[in-house]
């Protein structure tokens, strides 16, 4: 029973240590990841897409978790298997590599000499002691300081460069595990939320995933929101001016902080990102000047959002929509504009746009009343993404480690030189590099050629 | 002198370089090969000047930004990075003939940009107003370019391998006799990927940092992000496959070509077919 058990554990261990499993898992992750890029993912699934699917397909997709596939049990399982595989592979191979790094073979015995492809026999003049000092000095100057070992009447020199780069692969593997840990920390102790704040008001609660309300423990006030456009009508800047309030009082250092896209505000580990904006749709007031085409003094009109206003001659008007900059809709125009609807008794309602920057324009419309738009005190809301992620630093640490590990693994090579000096003046030099052996061969030949002239 | 004129010159010079490289293949004349590389480098210098000039032009227009912000600018930059990586590999490993299989990628990019894409200089929308744009785009495209070079080398590998197996060991060997030995091509394929993989990793990391700065989440499984991970997986598989026997040579070359196809889909396919954060200019 015990042996059987051991056999099972051993084969399980061997299974997870295998590089074939690693390649299979990596390819499986790559292939399955495609699914979620083709099928829309929650919560952004368009209604039409759902309707376009047949019942069987819909049920199948739902069962397989394809609509939130990166959080589906089987994808997570793949990631776990990948992690276990990664750790097992590293644990199996690390001790041997560690030994190569920390306990290099300091002497060039015959077995080692045969295993190396770069060896050279030199005939040098001088005694054992002078050759030892000469070659040690030479290696220190040209390569790196050697370790000197005397054994059986022979002197061995061992010099190496970048031994630690052999650990690069394991640094990369470790960094992946650290990034996963950071992601788990973030998902356990952090949250992503959203909040909508109207100008002049404050909010202390944000909406998290699954419509859960999260209390921030402090409040954020939107002092002002502004939006700017380029001449082409493309958006240039969305800016919220925020103040952090603790117990209703502004926190010093967090008053009137402008935040724009790519420049968020962080307070107590919670970060607010500019995300969207819009008219608050409440309390907005629009100002117009109305002139009768037949003459008479112009009248100032104040129209509140959603309210019908009386005009001369039994007519009424209301504002149907408005914008702070019309350029995004009509590129050749600029500035604020409002679409108004005028109802005349016994006639079809008349809907048209008036522009603040072009007050004369409405004359050309030919209506009995000539409108000009004087602007609004319409309030905006700002939509802010709210994120708390205590794991993000762990993730950045992992990423940095990954880059360092990759540089160690790919761009550095562990180079070793052994020299054996016999008492008869025979000197054997051998070398090896963990990477790019052909390039090292050139350097080795150059080095031994110089040695020969010593 | 405008940047668009210089870009036209670049396109023509790359075309000349490609034709000369093909002549090099046909004639096996080393002098002709030298002219092919020189033409590629000359085109690259003109292109560098054009990119800098376009940068300056955007400042003259009052919307100054690095010319890396839309599809046109990215395709031009991609083409520039391909020649850069090719140059590095050529100077380092001295296999000029690779140019015949790499310069066409750069030419294709330039021709498409000049003929098919909107070359207007546009101001930066708020999401792109960040220094991360520079770090992210430069690292990603250098990575993509290294994969393009690896793909060109892999195509050479497959041609050479087929030609060797059909010709037996006849010494003449047709126009492909000047290809490096398949062992060398296999090695160069790995070397190019060893340049590309760290750069792609940096590209993904800088992209994640930028996303975290702009949206508060470093990873949201957006199609672009996911595809960059898929590409990363393919090349990670490639690098690990090298350690096991049997995944060198032909299979490695095929995996490299698959990897570049995934790279191109990540770069263009995602923008054209899938929706997400990277749909340029939308």
| Tens-place pLDDT, residues B37-48 | 999 999 999 999
Q: What percent of chain A has pLDDT over 70?
A: 98
Q: Please state whether B225 falls in left (phi above 0), alpha (psi between -120 and 50) or beta.
A: alpha
Q: Give A283's pLDDT tier (boundaries 50, 70, 90).
A: low
Whether the per-residue pLDDT at A35 is higher than 90: the answer is yes
* pLDDT score for A1: 47
Among A166, A148, A147, A159, which Cα is nearest to A101's? A166
Res B144: pLDDT: 97
Q: Given its phi and psi angles, is residue A436 left (phi above 0), alpha (psi -120 to 50 degrees) or beta?
A: left
Subunit contact B221:A70, Cβ cutoff 8 A: yes
**In this model, does residue A238 exceed pLDDT 80?**
yes
Pick the range with the lowest mean pLDDT from A191-195, A434-438, B153-157: A434-438
So what's the pLDDT on residue A388?
94
Predicted confidence (pLDDT) at residue B277 exceeds the cutoff of 60: no
Residue of B127, B240, B270 with shortest CB distance to A261: B127
**Among A26, A275, A403, whose Cβ lies nearest the Cβ of B201?**
A403
**Model confidence pLDDT, tens digit, residues A392-415:** 999 999 999 999 999 999 999 999
Contacts of B88 in chain A (CB under 8 A): none
Give the model's pLDDT for residue B280. 42
Average pLDDT over residues A282-290: 80
Position with higher pLDDT, A357 vs A256 = A256
Interface test with A, best of B216, B266, B271 (most A CBs within 10 A): B216
List pLDDT tens digits, range B229-256.
999 999 999 999 887 767 888 999 999 9
Pick from A26, A392, A399: CB nearest B233? A26
What's the whole-number mean pLDDT along residues A260-264? 92
Residue in B212, B223, B244 closest to A19 by CB: B244
The residues near B149 (Cβ < 8 Å, ≥ 6 apart) are: B82, B85, B86, B89, B98, B102, B192
Burial call A201-223: b when 16+ CB within 10 Å, e when fewer: ebbeebeeeeeeebebebbbbbb
- Write down the pLDDT at residue B281: 34
- Interface touch A37/B125, C-beta < 8 Å: no
- Look at A33 and B233 and tell me if their CB atoms are within 8 Å: yes
Across the interface, of B127, B208, B240, the residue whose CB is closest to A19 is B240
Listed in sequence order, the DSSP H helices in A143-224 are 168-189
pLDDT tens digits, B68-112: 998 999 999 999 999 999 999 999 888 899 999 999 999 999 999
pLDDT at A377 (0 to 100): 80
pLDDT by residue (tens digit) across A434-451? 988 888 999 999 999 998
Mean of the per-residue pLDDT values of chain A? 90
Which stretches within B94-247 are classed as H helix? 99-116, 132-167, 182-215, 223-243
- Which of A20, A26, A173, A214 should one mutate to test binding to chain B, selecting the residue with the greatest count of B CBs within 10 A? A26
Q: How far apart (Å, rounded) are the C-alpha atoms in residues A384 and A370? A: 40
- Given a cut of 90, is residue A40 above it in pLDDT? no
CB contact under 8 A, A20 and B202: no
- Please say if the pLDDT value at position A66 is more than 60: yes
* pLDDT at residue A282, rounded to an integer: 62
Count helices and strands in chain A by DSSP H and E runs: 10, 21
Those residues of chain B whose CB sits closer than 8 Å to some CB in chain A are 63, 122-123, 125-127, 129-130, 132, 194, 197-198, 201-202, 205, 208-209, 212-219, 221, 223, 226-227, 229-230, 233-234, 236-237, 240-241, 243-244, 247, 262, 270, 274
Question: Are the beta carbons of A198 and A381 closer than 8 angstroms?
Answer: yes
Which chain B residues are Cβ-neighbours of A33 within 8 angstroms? 226, 229-230, 233
pLDDT number for residue B66 = 93
Residue A232 has pLDDT above 80, yes or no: no
Contact (Cβ atoms closer than 8 angstroms) between residue B60 and residue B213: no
Q: What is the pTM of this model?
A: 0.87
pLDDT beyond 90 at B273:
no
Q: Taking CA atoms, what residue in A is nearest to B240?
A: A23
**Set of chain B residues whose Cβ sits within 8 Å of the Cβ of A389:** 216-217
Ramachandran area for residue A101 (φ above 0: left; ψ -120 to 50: alpha; else beta): alpha
Confidence of residue A142 (pLDDT cuts 50, 70, 90): very high
Q: Do A234 and B125 touch (CB under 8 A)?
A: yes
What is the pLDDT at residue B278?
Answer: 55
Whole-number percent of chain B with pLDDT over 70: 94
Query: What are the pLDDT digits (tens) for B159-198?
Result: 998 888 776 555 555 667 788 888 999 999 999 999 999 9
Say if residue A425's pLDDT is above 60: yes
Q: Which among B197, B214, B233 is the nearest to A273, CB-wise?
A: B214
Instruction: Tell me the average pLDDT across A311-335.
Output: 82
Q: Do A402 and B205 touch (CB under 8 A)?
A: yes
Across the interface, whether the CB atoms of B221 and A30 are under 8 A apart is answered no
CA-CA distance, B20 to A9, in Å (whole number)? 62
Q: Which residues of A touch B130 (CB under 8 A)?
A: 262
Between CA A417 and CA A422 the distance in angstroms is 17
Top-ranked range on mean pLDDT: pick from A37-51, A63-77, A310-324, A373-387: A63-77
- DSSP H helices in A103-230: 110-115, 128-142, 168-189
**pLDDT at position A5:** 67
Q: How confident is the model at residue A215 (pLDDT cuts 50, 70, 90)?
A: very high
CB A220 within 8 A of CB A259: no
Instruction: Please judge whether B197 and A389 are an interchain contact, meaning their C-beta atoms are less than 8 angstroms apart.
Output: no
pLDDT band for position B282 (50/70/90)? Answer: very low
Two tokens, residue A182: 């950071």
**Cis peptide upstream of residue A204 (ω within 30 degrees of 0):** no
Verify whether the Cβ–Cβ distance A406 to B209 is below 8 Å.
no
Cβ contact B218–A392 (<8 Å): yes
Q: How far A143 CA sits from the closest chain B CA (Å)?
A: 22
The reply to whether residue B208 touches residue A399, judged by beta carbons under 8 angstroms, is yes
Tell me what pLDDT residue A87 has. 96
Q: What is the pLDDT of residue B166?
A: 74
Note the pLDDT tens digit of each residue in A351-364.
899 988 888 888 88
Our CA-based measurement puts residue A415 at a distance from the nearest CA of chain B, in whole angstroms, of: 19
What would the pLDDT profile of B197-221 be if each residue is shown by its tens digit?
999 999 999 999 999 988 889 999 9
- The pLDDT score that the predictor gives to residue B174 is 67
* Other C-beta atoms lying within 10 Å of the C-beta of residue A158: 19
Arithmetic mean of pLDDT over chain B: 90
Chosen for mutation from B93, B126, B211, B262 (greatest number of chain A CBs closer than 10 Å) is B126
Residues of chain B with C-beta less than 8 angstroms from the C-beta of A392? 212, 218
Task: Identify the CA nearest to A450 among candidates A37, A147, A138.
Answer: A138
Confidence at residue A312, expressed as pLDDT on a 0 to 100 scale: 79
- Given an 8 Å threshold on Cβ–Cβ distance, is A273 in contact with B219? no
Alpha carbon distance A62, A245 (integer Å):
44
Percent of residues, chain B, with pLDDT higher than 90: 68
pLDDT at A128: 87
Q: Which position has the token pair 């996911």?
A: B226
Identify all chain B residues contacting A411, using CB atoms and an 8 Å cutoff.
Answer: 198
Q: How far apart are the first and last CA of chain A?
A: 67
Tell me the chain B residues in contact with residue A30 when contact means C-beta distances shorter than 8 Å. 229-230, 233-234, 237, 262
Comparing alpha-carbon positions, the chain A residue that sits nearest to B220 is A70
Residue A327, C-beta contacts closer than 8 angstroms, at least 6 positions apart:
A229, A231, A232, A233, A333, A334
Contact A273 B125 (CB under 8 A): no
């Amino acid at each position: 029973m015990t042996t059987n058990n051991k056999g099972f554990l051993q084969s399980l261990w061997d299974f997870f240590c295998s590089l074939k499993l690693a390649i299979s898992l990596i390819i499986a992750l790559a292939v399955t990841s495609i699914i979620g890029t083709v099928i829309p993912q929650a919560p952004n699934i368009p209604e039409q897409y759902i309707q376009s699917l047949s019942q069987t397909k819909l049920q199948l997709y739902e069962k397989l978790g394809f609509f939130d596939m990166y959080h589906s049990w089987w994808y997570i399982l793949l990631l776990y298997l990948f992690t276990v595989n990664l750790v097992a592979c590293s644990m199996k191979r690390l001790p041997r590599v560690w030994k190569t790094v920390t306990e290099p073979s300091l002497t060039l015995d015959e077995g080692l000499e045969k295993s190396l492809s770069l060896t050279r026999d030199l005939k040098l003049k001088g005694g054992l002691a002078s050759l030892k000092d000469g070659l040690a000095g030479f290696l220190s100057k040209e390569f790196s300081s050697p370790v000197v070992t005397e054994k059986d009447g022979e002197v061995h020199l061992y010099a190496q460069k970048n031994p630690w780069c052999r650990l690069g692969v394991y640094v990369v593997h470790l960094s992946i595990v650290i990034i996963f840990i950071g992601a788990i920390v973030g998902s356990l102790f952090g949250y992503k939320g959203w909040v909508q704040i109207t100008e002049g008001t404050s909010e202390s609660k944000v909406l998290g995933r699954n419509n859960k309300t999260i209390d921030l423990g402090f409040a954020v006030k939107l002092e002002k929101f502004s939006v700017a456009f380029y001449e082409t009508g493309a958006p240039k800047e969305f800016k919220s001016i925020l103040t952090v309030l603790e117990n209703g009082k502004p926190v010093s250092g967090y008053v009137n902080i402008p935040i724009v896209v790519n420049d968020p505000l962080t307070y107590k580990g919670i970060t607010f990102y500019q995300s969207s904006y819009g008219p608050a749709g409440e309390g907005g007031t629009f100002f117009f000047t109305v002139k009768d085409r037949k003459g008479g003094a112009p009248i100032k009109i104040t129209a509140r959002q959603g309210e019908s206003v009386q005009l001369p001659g039994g007519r009424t008007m209301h504002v149907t929509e408005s914008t702070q900059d019309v350029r995004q809709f009509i590129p050749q125009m600029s500035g604020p504009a409002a679409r108004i609807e005028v109802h005349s008794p016994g006639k079809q309602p008349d809907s048209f746009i008036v522009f603040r920057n072009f007050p004369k324009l409405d004359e050309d419309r030919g209506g009995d009343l000539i409108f000009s738009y004087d602007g609004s005190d319409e309030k905006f809301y700002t939509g802010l993404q709210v994120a708390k992620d205590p794991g993000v630093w762990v993730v950045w640490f992992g990423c940095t480690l990954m880059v360092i590990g990759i540089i160690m693994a790919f761009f550095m090579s562990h180079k070793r030189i052994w020299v054996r000096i016999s008492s008869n003046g025979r000197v054997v030099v051998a070398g090896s590099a963990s990477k790019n052996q052909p390039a090292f061969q050139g350097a080795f030949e150059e080095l031994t050629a110089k040695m020969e002239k010593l | 002198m405008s940047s668009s004129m210089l870009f036209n010159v670049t396109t023509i010079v790359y075309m000349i370089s490609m034709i000369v490289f093909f002549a090099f293949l046909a004639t096996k004349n080393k002098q002709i090969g030298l002219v092919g590389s020189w033409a590629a480098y000359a085109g690259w210098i003109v292109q560098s000047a054009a990119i800098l000039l376009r940068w300056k032009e955007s400042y003259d227009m009052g919307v100054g930004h690095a010319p890396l912000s839309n599809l046109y600018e990215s395709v031009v930059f991609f083409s520039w990075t391909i020649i850069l990586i090719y140059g590095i590999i050529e100077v380092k490993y001295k296999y000029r003939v690779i140019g015949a299989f790499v310069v066409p990628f750069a030419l294709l990019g330039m021709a498409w940009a000049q003929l098919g894409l909107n070359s207007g200089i546009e101001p930066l929308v708020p999401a792109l107003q960040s220094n991360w744009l520079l770090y992210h785009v430069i690292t990603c495209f250098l990575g993509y370019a290294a994969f393009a070079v690896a793909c060109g080398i892999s195509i050479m590998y497959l041609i050479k391998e087929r030609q060797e197996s059909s010709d037996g060991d006849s010494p003449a060997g047709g126009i492909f006799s000047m290809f490096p030995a398949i062992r060398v091509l296999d090695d160069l394929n790995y070397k190019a990927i060893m340049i590309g993989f760290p750069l792609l990793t940096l590209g993904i990391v800088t992209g994640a940092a930028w996303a975290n700065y702009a949206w508060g989440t470093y990873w949201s499984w957006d199609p672009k992000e996911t595809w960059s991970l898929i590409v990363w997986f393919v090349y990670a598989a490639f690098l690990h496959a090298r350690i096991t026997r049997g995944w060198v040579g032909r299979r490695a070359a095929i995996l490299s070509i698959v990897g570049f196809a995934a790279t191109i889909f990540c770069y263009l396919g995602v923008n054209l077919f899938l929706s997400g954060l990277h749909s340029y200019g939308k």
